[in-house]
Chain A
Amino acid sequence: MNASKKDIQDLYFMDNRFRLLDIAAFLDRMDRHEGEADFRHEAFLNALEAMQNPSPGLSRTQAVHHAFSDHSREPLETASIQFANGAVNPDS
């Protein structure tokens, strides 16, 4: 790996500045619109917090994955749906 921190900034700063604004705008949009957010909103906010303060032993990326993940260990009795939501639905 020969790329320096400066190289990484040159490659990725603008793109990720753009993505960060998109995340901020998404949260503003959620604040602005009517109705109730479902479980995904809280999971998203928790993932942002996990990214900024990852648990010991986890990278920021791993912390985000873990925030969205099902941590149960036993297989489900049946698969009642075929799709994934992106976050654990506490009612399922």
Chain B
Amino acid sequence: MKYIEPHGHMVSRTTDDYQKIALAGCEALCEPAFWAGYDRSSPQGFYDYYRQLTEYEPQRAAKFGIEHYAWLCINPKEAEDAGFAREVMQIIPEFLDKPNVLGIGEIGLNKNSKNELNIFEEHVELAQKHDLPVLIHTPHLEDKLKGTRLILDSLKNSKIEPSRVVIDHVEEHTIEAVLDAGYWAGMTLYPQSKCSAARAVDMIEIYGKEQVWMNSACDWGISDPLAVMKCALEMKQRKYFEDCIKQVIYDNPKSFLVKWSNFK
């Protein structure tokens, strides 16, 4: 079955992983800008990273027949130094016309600080200025509930159209508020944190399959690039029909991305 990986950090993965996801049916992969596991020392470091996301990774993916797309931003973990973050943000517009750039992301919050929130809001303004969709990272673990509430309050004040925003890494205590406000919800399938395949299917059962997608968010941590298709198998084991599975792993992300970005 074909699928779209809406969130994968392939700069951290081996070429073998491209081969594996291609064999599993991946037609397109979207890569948000994120933290490298360490703080970059200069805006030039981000410039090189954006070149990697917009020039090199599309070529690596294309060797396996996979379309590669990117979201650009400075991630919330490196947003605590607001002056530095603003220097990096000045670079971003130079890359927004690249053919594989979808929008601004993954922006959001990490520890729910004032500086993180300010930089988040400035990213949302940047997206609105350039008429781009937004992909939002919600904080980890004990910080997720508070961070999601702060993000929802901020977005409400921004007047951005909810249907062009994906709020990612939702879990059982945050998904309802996200969907009720009209945003898209991303469920991240991780082996040890965030959401398991079984729980993702539970959330689809409870909250429905509209405006949701699933992703592996595979990166340099413990993560699984095949997580989306393993969740598809979980749905099949729970007796979901193929058209329903396809809606969640292919049709939903495609409909959002085609509507709001240059995704083909």
Do A and B come from the same complex?
yes
A-side residues, CB < 8 A to B, are 1-3, 7-8, 11-12, 59, 61-62, 65-66, 68-73, 75-88
Whether A61 pairs with B141 at a CB distance below 8 angstroms is no
Per CB-CB distance, the 4 closest pairs between chain A and chain B, nearest first, are A79-B111, A65-B173, A79-B113, A84-B141
List residues of chain B with CB within 8 A of the CB of A70: 112, 142-143, 145-146
Residues of B within 8 Å of A80, CB to CB, are 111
Chain B interface (Cβ within 8 Å of chain A)? 77, 80, 110-117, 139-146, 149-150, 171-173, 198-199, 202, 205, 237-240
- B contact patch SS: helix
Pick 9 A–B contacts, CB within 8 A, sort by A.
A69-B145, A70-B112, A70-B146, A75-B113, A75-B150, A77-B113, A79-B111, A79-B112, A79-B115
| B-chain residues with CB within 8 Å of residue A59 when the two chains form the complex | 172
How many contacts A-B (CB < 8 Å)? 88
* Given A62-B173, A77-B113, A87 and B150 contact (CB-CB distance below 8 Å): no
Given that A3-B239, A66-B145, A76-B113 are contacting pairs, would A82 and B77 also be in contact in the complex, using a CB cutoff of 8 Å? yes
Distance, CA A62 to CA B11, complexed state (A): 34
Whole-angstrom distance between the alpha carbons of A12 and B196 in the complex? 13
Q: A78 and B140: CB pair below 8 A?
A: no
Partner of B145, one of A3, A71, A81: A71
